Amino acid sequence: MLTRLVQLFDTLDFCQLIHAPTHNRGHTLDWVVTRLPSGDFIKSTSVDDFQISDHFLSRSALISAIHHVPGKRSYVGTLEA
């Protein structure tokens, strides 16, 4: 099944970003998958073992750009004749 999933990812141009075990038995159970080149929006990924569970913590730092959309200007006041 894993081989078919990896083949599907290759077909869809997906990229797995976690390359370290995420379980204490040496398996990678947690995946971060992207279709875009990771440098476009992923700053970093890491796997940390805090030894409180048999699963490790997977972290990803994302790059986000906030685009400012100018708002509509409105004025409130009284007209004097």
pLDDT tens digits for range 64-80: 777 667 777 766 676 66
pLDDT value, residue 49: 92
Strands (E), 1-81: 15-16, 33-34, 42-48, 57-62
The residue that leads in pLDDT, 42 or 58, is 58
Confidence band, pLDDT 50/70/90 cuts, at residue 15: confident
- For the chain, the average pLDDT equals 82
pLDDT of residue 22: 92
29 and 55 in contact (C-beta within 8 Å)?
yes
Contact call for residues 53 and 32 (beta carbons, < 8 A): no
Is the CA virtual torsion 16, 19, 23, 27 positive or negative? positive
Q: How far apart are CA 81 and CA 78, in angstroms?
A: 10
Q: What is the pTM of this model?
A: 0.58
Closest by CA position to 48, among listed 23, 17, 15? 23
Identify the weakest region by mean pLDDT among 2-6, 11-15, 27-31, 36-40: 36-40
